[in-house]
A and B are shown apart, each in its own frame.
Chain A
């Protein structure tokens, strides 16, 4: 019983930390969770994740470099960032409610896929040229700036685009590539 109330308390605290934005970027670093929840925070997150499943939500772990091939160590988890994301996908109508037009989503999908096809880096000029072939030209620059501002893409001083933190947190790149390759077009 004591043990049960211990975890119930920890889970509540974890919900507060994960749902409310406390920094400029959403999400919480592993070391912050460790500080607030104790060293067994991976277990707390695991219980919370099972609970969130019923609500179609999940706890997403984004590792600092790449996802480790084997079970991550506590050190790797401490350096990772944890977010609450949707577990399933959004229906087109729901996406519209979030303030995204079909053109915006298609543009983002194309930009991300193109950067993946170019091994994680592509020039902004190339990506914009690709988008212009599918979207109204005057929206391309606006959209590109929006993707960068939201953290989906990053741009360096040489006008090279990369996938940024939000893409790593929100987009299942493997699934996207596979779906694209399976598309009948």
Chain B
């Protein structure tokens, strides 16, 4: 026969296990019916006469509270099954796996009714615009900054690569011309190629080298970048003749991340 102290300890442990179980069901979306509500109530009832301290009553209340959440999940489940939206999840999942992507997209278009929305200037955006305009430096100062930044980038990174023996100074222009020719050959009828499809190589270091060289192709006017922001895609379009854009109009800097993770993803997509 266990002593009262032992029984209380055992009761606390059992209530804590119930609380943990209910919490994990709620957080992970597991089937709520694995909890036998009657069993849990029996446990709570069995140990209730033993509680004396406020903390013990709090634990008891927490167990009841968690149990109520599980009952709510169970009731949601029953209600969902009784609605017209309910279909066998396994059947639906199987259909999802077996339907081709084009068919899927066409099905979806029949059930998709996009919102019509027009964006317009508001008081808030006007205030933001005025603030931006007031803080904007004169054009002459901005141009000075831009030019110096551009020179700095070109010189420093290239020297760094030469120092690391990735590039030899003499062959740089030849390499650039060779890459330009390759780009011209790689573009299809559309006259453009996906950025990653062009810079991507078998090794990550080779990919970095190609990305680096490609940035010069764009900067020196051998090619241009076409960015489709909505589709989150970027294309390279070679020019037949190199066009120097320096001084003609304000150039735009486009930061492109060529991380190891992105390279891995690209490799996997090529394999797939």
Contact = CB atoms under 8 A, between A and B. Distances in A.
Interface string A148-185: 00000000001010000010011111111101110101
A19 B196 contact: no
Interface string A78-89: 000001111111
A24 to B, nearest CB: 11
- Residue of A174, A177, A179 ringed by the most chain B CB atoms within 10 A: A179
B172 interface: no
Given A84-B115, A85-B114, A87-B113, A130 B96 contact: yes
B241 to A, nearest CB: 32
* Chain B contact patch, size range: 35 or more
Contacts of B109: 89-92, 95, 105
Q: Interface range on chain A: under 10, 10 to 19, 20 to 34, or 35 or more?
A: 35 or more
A86 B109 CA distance: 11
Contacts of B269: 136-139
Contacts of B113: 58, 60, 85-89, 170-172
A110 B104 contact: yes
Interface string B228-272: 101110000000000000000000000000000010011011001
B120 interface: yes
Interface in B89-116: 89, 91-93, 95-116
A164 to B, nearest CB: 13
A118 B97 CA distance: 14
Contact of A177 (B92, B97, B230): B92
Interface in A73-124: 83-92, 95, 98-110, 112-114, 116-119, 121-123
17 contacts: A101-B231, A102-B105, A109-B107, A112-B108, A117-B87, A119-B89, A138-B266, A138-B268, A138-B269, A142-B232, A166-B115, A170-B114, A170-B115, A175-B111, A177-B85, A179-B107, A181-B92
6 tightest A-B CB contacts, nearest first: A99-B230, A138-B265, A109-B108, A136-B269, A106-B101, A26-B117
